[in-house]
């Protein structure tokens, strides 16, 4: 068995400017279309065409771990649960396992929590480079009073969150009120200050891929640093056709502005093989630059456990029990 140091995992972080946004271009928005059947055919081809095995699969799975926003967003979250989750983010794979793979220092990309748990997570992650991401703006529905949604962003930033996952008002997309969506996103981005902002589109509630594409573009025009599929609370969350639609909008935005915007699929990604498919899609469509945590994240709570089981299988030839890899 070969060790994996120097492979996909250890690519350098890329330095790029934040998305400052641009004036709303309604002509560009109106021109955006989505060929649903073609998108679905392309998405369906990814898993079969881009398979990796043995040490190459292990290396890609380790890369996936570094891109996870390790998440707990439950009504019964407690400070102790969040502390345990942060401990897992610090050491997502057993040190003995990493040693066998010839690696050290692996962490997840971030820890994502409700505002109430931000301070707890910040304290638990002191001394690391792991940022805390806070879901905000009336997550998950985004229907609380607007002034309170804006205030919630500021509270999370002051509590120490370095990333804010905001939810858009879906009604602006469903009614085609792009100016309202742009203005809302612009104000939310301003309230985030130096914290990076991820715009959650809740794509399962936007009805069409064309709406997904147009909403993606408007949020990027308004300054979103990332666009994100879902809250994880909708009946349909991240899918490959939605992801393909959104990342092609990211590519178009970069072509026109020169600005790189990140992507975060969230909800329903719980298997290691799914993570590999998403990584292949990102590499094919956007290139190597989008395989770093500053431009790609998985929003997940159970994905890490399945990746650990696959790594155990790579090392021993046997699958470990799922209860050996508890998150919190």
Asked if the model's pLDDT at residue 125 lies above 60, the reply is yes
DSSP β-bridge partners for residue 264: 228
Are 282 and 247 spatial neighbours (Cβ–Cβ below 8 Å)? yes
Is 287 inside any structural domain?
yes
Tens digits of per-residue pLDDT, 46-96? 877 667 888 999 999 999 999 999 999 999 999 999 999 999 999 999 999
What H or E segment, with its residue span, contains residue 219?
Answer: helix 209-221
User: Token digits for 188?
Assistant: 């939310």
Count of the separate structural domains present in the chain: 1
CA dihedral defined by 301, 305, 306, 311, rounded to 10 degrees? 140
Task: Give catalytic status of residue 264 as yes or no.
Answer: yes
The string of DSSP letters for 268-282 reads: S--SHHHHHHHHHHH
**Domain range for residue 201?**
22-316
Q: How far apart are CA 195 and CA 191, in angstroms?
A: 9
Q: How far lies 327's CA from each of 89, 92, 98, 110, 156, in Å?
A: 9, 9, 18, 14, 24
Name the active-site residue from 88, 162, 198, 228. 228
Is 12 inside any structural domain?
no
CA dihedral defined by 247, 248, 251, 255, rounded to 10 degrees? -160
Q: For residue 179, which of 39, 30, 63 has the smallest C-alpha distance?
A: 30
Tell me the pLDDT band of 17, cut-offs 50, 70 and 90.
confident
Is 6 inside any structural domain?
no
Is 38 inside any structural domain?
yes
Better-predicted residue by pLDDT, 183 or 301 = 183
Task: Give catalytic status of residue 255 as yes or no.
Answer: no
Is 183 inside any structural domain?
yes
Tell me the pLDDT band of 9, cut-offs 50, 70 and 90.
very low
Is 5 inside any structural domain?
no
Residue 231: CATH number of its domain = 3.20.20.70
CA dihedral defined by 166, 171, 173, 178, rounded to 10 degrees? -90
Residue 313 pLDDT: 92
Tell me the pLDDT band of 11, cut-offs 50, 70 and 90.
very low
How far, in whole angstroms, is CA 27 from its chain's centroid? 29
Pairing of strands 196-200, 226-228: parallel
User: Token digits for 50?
Assistant: 């881009």
Q: For residue 106, which of 85, 88, 133 has the smallest C-alpha distance?
A: 88
Name the active-site residue from 69, 165, 274, 306. 165
Residue 46 pLDDT: 86
Are 246 and 220 spatial neighbours (Cβ–Cβ below 8 Å)? no
* Mean pLDDT for the chain overall: 92
Task: Give catalytic status of residue 100 as yes or no.
Answer: no
Residue 50 pLDDT: 61
Tell me the pLDDT band of 162, cut-offs 50, 70 and 90.
very high
Tell me the pLDDT band of 321, cut-offs 50, 70 and 90.
confident
Tell me the pLDDT band of 99, cut-offs 50, 70 and 90.
very high
Residue 15 pLDDT: 57
Name the active-site residue from 264, 274, 306, 312. 264
Give 20's contacts (C-beta < 8 A, 6+ positions apart).
Answer: 223, 259
Tell me the pLDDT band of 318, cut-offs 50, 70 and 90.
confident
Are 306 and 323 spatial neighbours (Cβ–Cβ below 8 Å)? no
Tens digits of per-residue pLDDT, 209-218? 999 999 999 9
CB-based burial label for 301 (10 Å; 0-12, 13-18, 19+) = buried
Is 160 inside any structural domain?
yes
How far, in whole angstroms, is CA 214 from its chain's centroid? 19
Asked if the model's pLDDT at residue 31 lies above 80, the reply is yes
Which of helix, strand or coil describes residue 209? Answer: helix
What H or E segment, with its residue span, contains residue 174?
Answer: helix 170-174
Which of helix, strand or coil describes residue 243? Answer: helix
Cα Rg of the chain (Å, integer) = 19
Residue 66 pLDDT: 97
DSSP β-bridge partners for residue 114: 135
Is 11 inside any structural domain?
no
């Amino acid at each position: 068995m070969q060790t994996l140091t120097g492979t996909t995992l250890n690519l350098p972080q890329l330095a790029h400017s934040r998305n400052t946004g641009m004036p709303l271009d309604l002509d560009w928005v109106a021109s955006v279309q989505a060929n649903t059947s073609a998108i679905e055919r392309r998405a369906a081809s990814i898993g079969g065409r881009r398979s990796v095995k043995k040490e190459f699969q292990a290396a890609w799975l380790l890369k996936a771990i570094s891109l996870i926003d390790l998440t707990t967003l439950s009504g019964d979250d407690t400070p102790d649960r969040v502390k345990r989750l942060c401990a897992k983010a610090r050491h997502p794979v057993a040190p003995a396992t990493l040693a066998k793979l010839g690696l050290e220092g692996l962490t997840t990309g971030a820890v994502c929590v409700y505002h109430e748990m931000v301070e707890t997570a910040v304290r638990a992650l002191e001394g690391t480079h792991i940022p805390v991401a806070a879901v905000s703006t009336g997550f998950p529905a985004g229907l609380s009073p607007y002034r309170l949604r804006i205030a919630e962003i500021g509270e999370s930033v002051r509590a120490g969150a370095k990333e804010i996952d905001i939810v858009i008002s879906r009604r602006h997309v469903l009614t085609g009120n792009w100016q309202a969506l742009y203005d809302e996103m612009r104000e939310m981005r301003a309230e985030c200050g130096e914290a990076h902002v991820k715009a959650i589109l809740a794509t399962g509630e936007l009805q069409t891929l064309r709406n997904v594409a147009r909403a993606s573009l408007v949020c990027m025009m308004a300054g979103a640093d990332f666009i994100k599929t879902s809250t994880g609370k909708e009946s349909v969350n991240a899918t490959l056709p939605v992801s393909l639609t959104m990342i092609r909008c990211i590519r178009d935005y970069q072509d026109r502005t020169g600005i790189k915007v990140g992507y975060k699929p969230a909800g329903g990604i719980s298997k290691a093989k799914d993570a590999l498919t998403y990584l292949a899609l990102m590499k094919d469509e956007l290139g190597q630059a989008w395989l770093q945590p500053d431009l790609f994240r998985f929003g997940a709570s159970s994905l890490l456990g399945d990746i650990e089981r696959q790594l155990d299988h790579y090392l021993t030839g046997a699958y470990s029990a799922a209860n050996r890899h508890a998150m919190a």
